[in-house]
Amino acid sequence: MRMPSRIPILYLIVGVLVLVSVVPMYFYATRVTEINRERLKVNEMMLQNTITRSLGDELNQRHANFRAMLANFTSVVEVASGGTLDGNRVNSPQLRALMERFVGSSNDIAYATLVNAELKGISSSRVEPDAFMNRELERAFAAAREGRPYTGQALSTGPGPSSRTLMLVSAPATINGRFQGMAAAFVDLQFLVQRLKEASQGGLDIYVVDHRGRLVAGAGQDYVTGQDMSNVEIVKSFVDQGGRAKLADTRDFTIFGASDHVRMLGTYSPVRALGWAVVAQKTQENAYAGVREMQLTAALLAIFAIVMSVAISVYAARKITTPIEVLTDSSRAIARGDFSQRVNVRSRTEIGELAQTFNVMSAELEQLIADLKRAAEENRALFMGSIQMLAGAVDEKDPYTRGHSDRVTRYSVAIARELGLPNDEIEKVRISAQLHDVGKIGIEDRILKKPGALTPQEFEIMKTHTTKGANILRPVRQLKEMIPGIELHHESLDGRGYPYGLKGDEIPLTARIIMVADCFDAMTTDRPYQKAMDPEYVVQIINKMANAKFDPKCVAAFTSVFQRGELGLTARKAEMAVAAAASGQSVGDEARV
Question: Average pLDDT per run of 10 along the chain, which is 593 residues long?
Answer: 57 68 67 72 82 89 89 85 79 87 87 88 85 90 90 83 84 84 90 86 86 85 82 87 79 78 88 88 78 69 68 60 64 67 64 70 71 63 62 62 84 94 93 88 82 85 90 87 92 93 92 94 80 90 93 95 84 51 36 25
What is the CA angle 222-224-230, rounded to 5?
Answer: 95
> Phi, psi at residue 494, to the nearest 5°?
-85, 5
Q: What is the pLDDT of residue 314?
A: 62
How many Cβ atoms are within 10 Å of 593's Cβ, its own excluded? 11
Q: Long-range contact list for 115-118, CB < 8 A, 24+ apart?
A: 115/90, 115/141, 115/181, 115/182, 116/85, 116/86, 116/87, 116/89, 116/90, 116/173, 116/180, 116/181, 117/85, 117/86, 117/179, 117/180, 117/181, 118/86, 118/87
How far apart CA 481 and CA 425 sit, in angstroms, is: 10
CA distance 490 to 500: 9
Residue 169, pLDDT score: 93
- The per-residue pLDDT for 251 is 84
For position 71, what pLDDT does the model report? 87
The radius of gyration computed from the CA coordinates of the chain, to the nearest angstrom, equals 34
Which string of DSSP letters, residue by residue, matches 542-560?
Answer: HHHTBTTTB-HHHHHHHHH
Residue 589 confidence (pLDDT) = 31
Q: What are phi and psi of 279, to 5 degrees?
A: -115, 130
Give the per-residue pLDDT at 583.
41
Per-residue buried b or exposed e for 163-181, using 16+ beta carbons within 10 Å of the residue's own CB = ebbbbbbbbbbebeeebbb
Taking residue 68's Cβ as centre, other Cβ atoms within 10 Å add up to 10
**Strand runs (DSSP E) across 8-67, as ranges?**
none
Q: Which residues does residue 155 pair with via DSSP β-bridges, in sequence order?
A: 166
pLDDT of residue 313: 61
Give me the pLDDT at residue 590, please: 29
Q: Whole-angstrom Cα distance, residue 367 to residue 340?
A: 10
Q: In whole angstroms, give the CA distance from residue 237 to residue 184.
A: 33
- Provide the 3-class DSSP secondary structure of residue 213: coil
Domains of the chain, each with CATH number or no CATH: 397-592 (1.10.3210.10)
* Whole-number pLDDT of residue 89: 81
SS3 content of the chain, % helix, strand, coil (to 5): 60, 15, 25
d(C-alpha 370, C-alpha 454), whole Å: 54
3-class secondary-structure state, position 291: helix
Q: Report yes or no: 268 and 253 within 8 Å, Cβ to Cβ.
A: no
Pairing of strands 150-151, 215-218: unpaired
Burial 404-434 (b: 16+ CB within 10 A, else e): bbbbbbbbbbbbbebbebeeebbbbbbbbbb
Q: Which residues are CB-contacts of 252 (< 8 A; sequence separation ≥ 6)?
A: 263, 264, 265, 284
Give helix then strand counts, H and E, for the chain: 20, 11
Strands 178-188 and 155-157: unpaired
